[in-house]
Amino acid sequence: MTPEKQAAPAGAATLPLPPMKWDAWGDPALARELSADIRGLLAAALGVTGDAAPGPAAAEVVLRPCALTPDDLAALAAVVGEAHLGTSDADRLPRAGGKSTPDLLRRRSRDPQDAPDAVVLPGGEEEIAALLALCAERRIAVVPFGGGTSVVGGLEPLRGEFAAVVSLDLRRLDGLLGLDPTSGEAVLGAGLTGPAAEALLAEHGLELGHYPQSFRYATVGGFAATRSSGQNSAGHGRFDEMVRGLRVVTPAGVLDLGRGPASAAGPDLRALFLGSEGTLGVITAVRVRVHPLPAARAHEAWSFPDFATGAQALRAVEQQGTGPTVIRLSDEAETMVNLAMTERIGGEPAAGGCLAVTVFEGTADQVAARHRLTRDALLAAGATSLGEAPALAWEHGRFDAPYLRDALLDAGALCETLETATDWRRLPGLRSAVTAALTAALPGALVLCHISHVYPTGASLYFTVVGALGEDPLERWAAAKRAAGDAIAAAGATITHHHAVGTDHRPWMAEEIGEVGVRVLRAVKAELDPAGILNPGKLIP
């Protein structure tokens, strides 16, 4: 990141900034330089040798002018207070989108960029309800905003049929609102980031244990609104499984859902809002399961001769319920590249095969038992132990891959990811089909894959593509994404395992849930948001 990109943009910010940078992932201090090894690999494997043209500095970005009238702005300020309304370019630009590669490419444009017309930071549910009423009345679209980490276009400032759009940033809803250590439950404000939530819980010796790659920046409300899944979800479950209750402010009123640990009192309406991506209401607080901070941890990495053997082994572990907290398997290509890209490998020859990582957490007894049972199952299924070092190395860098993507983009390489899930039986075929689709759409690109999450009946596949940016990288990636999405749909797999829908997966939603399913979502939307102001153009086809 060059210093001039850090300069204040035109119109000084009046609001606190989101945790993510406006044009790249995360914290500038954590930005990565590409090693000579990686540059060599890019040149040799992809023919990428010249850096990409640098994007504009923030101050050089030209934003679409604010479309709100002074009267609109006064009305918004009357709800949240002047101090919590931002209209400067410096306030708007950081909420202009998420962090997909298309988002980052758009941020690098010197053409006028789109952005929300204003940013509001409500202080609580009453203000959110008032904002929604005001925006419905004045016909202003609303994009709820958490950590800004969407990689599926979930934060695009789309206006739908309206003239203006505001970003509703939930960062002020950052409290630990309730704690019941006996039941192992905490009520968390939707605006808490992962680290902020964990810090509040750690004061009580407790942990949420949800660690998606976006952990450092994403928020509790975003985890819920997108059905997030984390790296420890093998042990602690997906975020939607952790949620015991939630509060949602909709234009039609407030919902407070979830009584008891389980219920048969009709359909579980929590499920309508988990994954609703801000289209049905604004999630303000989530009651989640928490557990004691782990007293013990263990790490072990494994090598399998090939992906199929490794997948079989992960299936055996998961179906036997031996309880690793983390378990993941890279395919041959990802294993090779990871080894090449990891600084500590240096000149060592790549080990080949497929790398798997396991981490175990809990009490010392639990860790010992889980580690032993998992080891037995993996060894019986053809694994060779690589010891703990590669697993520790994975853990050390577990949140850092997006920084590498930024550096690759600077170096002229397109690096993007997508994920899906299917049952164990169809997993090998799905991997082949998606790899083939991506390779055909991006000739010469590297297509890497790993099993990121396991379930008794199936697993997710997480693909990483690295290729040359080309002349028109946005269209180049769009074509690859279409090909991959079509291959996923044709295989009967889900269009997204944990990245959510946003704008980017919306074209496949009718296939995923059927025309009747789409009608159900539209009917719920019409009931709760009759004006249609909530996140138009996202999720619901």
Q: Which of residues 307-336 bind its own copies (CB under 8 A)?
A: 315, 319-321, 323
Q: Which one of 132-140, 262-270, 294-302, 440-448 is the stretch in contact with its own copies (CB under 8 A)?
A: 262-270
Judged by beta carbon, residue 228 or residue 330, the one nearer its own copies is: 228
State yes or no: residue 67 binds its own copies (CB under 8 A): no
CB of 1 to its own copies, least distance (A): 30
The alpha carbon of 283 is separated from its chain's Cα centroid by a whole number of angstroms, namely 17
Q: Which one of 120-128, 166-174, 272-280, 341-349 is the stretch in contact with its own copies (CB under 8 A)?
A: 272-280
Judged by beta carbon, residue 84 or residue 371, the one nearer its own copies is: 371
Judged by beta carbon, residue 413 or residue 454, the one nearer its own copies is: 454
State yes or no: residue 369 binds its own copies (CB under 8 A): yes
Among 380, 424, 126, residue whose Cα is nearest residue 253? 126
Do residues 437 and 493 touch, judged by C-beta distance below 8 A?
no
CB of 23 to its own copies, least distance (A): 26
Distance from C-alpha of 25 to C-alpha of 27, rounded to nearest angstrom: 7
Q: Which one of 54-62, 86-94, 276-284, 335-343 is the stretch in contact with its own copies (CB under 8 A)?
A: 276-284
Judged by beta carbon, residue 36 or residue 516, the one nearer its own copies is: 516
Q: Which one of 47-55, 74-82, 132-140, 500-508 is the stretch in contact with its own copies (CB under 8 A)?
A: 500-508
Site for its own copies in 78-117 (CB under 8 A): none
Judged by beta carbon, residue 229 or residue 335, the one nearer its own copies is: 229
State yes or no: residue 264 binds its own copies (CB under 8 A): yes
Q: Dig out the tokens for 19 from the structure.
A: 């945790």
Judged by beta carbon, residue 291 or residue 482, the one nearer its own copies is: 291
Site map 179..198 versus its own copies, x via CB under 8 A: -x-xxxx-------------
Distance from C-alpha of 332 to C-alpha of 319, rounded to nearest angstrom: 24
Q: Which one of 102-110, 176-184, 405-413, 432-440 is the stretch in contact with its own copies (CB under 8 A)?
A: 176-184
The residues that bridge with 462 in the sheet, in sequence order, are: 419, 450
State yes or no: residue 368 binds its own copies (CB under 8 A): no
Judged by beta carbon, residue 19 or residue 278, the one nearer its own copies is: 278
Distance from C-alpha of 401 to C-alpha of 107, rounded to nearest angstrom: 20
Q: Dig out the tokens for 20 from the structure.
A: 């993510």
Site for its own copies in 480-499 (CB under 8 A): 492-499
Q: Which one of 74-82, 87-95, 268-276, 302-310 is the stretch in contact with its own copies (CB under 8 A)?
A: 268-276
Residue 513 identity (one-letter amino acid): I
Place of tokens 């010796």: 205
Place of tokens 């934003």: 63
Judged by beta carbon, residue 149 or residue 494, the one nearer its own copies is: 494
Distance from C-alpha of 24 to C-alpha of 74, rounded to nearest angstrom: 32
User: By rule CB under 8 A, what count of residues binds its own copies?
Assistant: 94
Instruction: Choose which of 449, 466, 501, 531 interacts with its own copies (CB under 8 A).
Output: 501
The answer for residues whose C-beta is within 8 angstroms of residue 48's C-beta and 6 or more apart is 42, 411, 412, 413, 468, 469
Distance from C-alpha of 211 to C-alpha of 60, rounded to nearest angstrom: 35
The answer for residues whose C-beta is within 8 angstroms of residue 320's C-beta and 6 or more apart is 373, 377
State yes or no: residue 205 binds its own copies (CB under 8 A): no
Site map 126..155 versus its own copies, x via CB under 8 A: ------------------------------
Instruction: Choose which of 196, 257, 313, 339 interacts with its own copies (CB under 8 A).
Output: 257
Instruction: Choose which of 139, 172, 289, 482 interacts with its own copies (CB under 8 A).
Output: 289
Do residues 331 and 354 touch, judged by C-beta distance below 8 A?
yes
Judged by beta carbon, residue 82 or residue 268, the one nearer its own copies is: 268
Do residues 278 and 154 touch, judged by C-beta distance below 8 A?
yes
User: Which stretch of DSSP H or E encloses residue 247?
Assistant: strand 243-250
Do residues 513 and 495 touch, judged by C-beta distance below 8 A?
no
What DSSP letter does each residue of 143-177 carry, written as one string?
A: EEESSS--SSSTT----TTSSEEEEEE-TT---EE
Do residues 386 and 301 touch, judged by C-beta distance below 8 A?
yes
Instruction: Choose which of 453, 469, 504, 529 interacts with its own copies (CB under 8 A).
Output: 453
Judged by beta carbon, residue 94 or residue 458, the one nearer its own copies is: 458
The answer for residues whose C-beta is within 8 angstroms of residue 441's C-beta and 6 or more apart is 479, 480, 482, 483, 484
Site for its own copies in 227-246 (CB under 8 A): 227-229, 238, 240, 244
Site map 412..451 versus its own copies, x via CB under 8 A: --------xxxxxx--------------------------
Place of tokens 């960062």: 171
State yes or no: residue 514 binds its own copies (CB under 8 A): yes
Question: How much helix, strand and coil, in percent to the nearest 5, is found in the chain?
Answer: 40, 20, 40
Radius of gyration of the chain measured on its C-alpha atoms: 23
Site map 17..46 versus its own copies, x via CB under 8 A: ------------------------------
Judged by beta carbon, residue 134 or residue 493, the one nearer its own copies is: 493
The number of helices, as runs of H, and strands, as runs of E, in the chain is 18, 18
Site for its own copies in 210-229 (CB under 8 A): 226-229
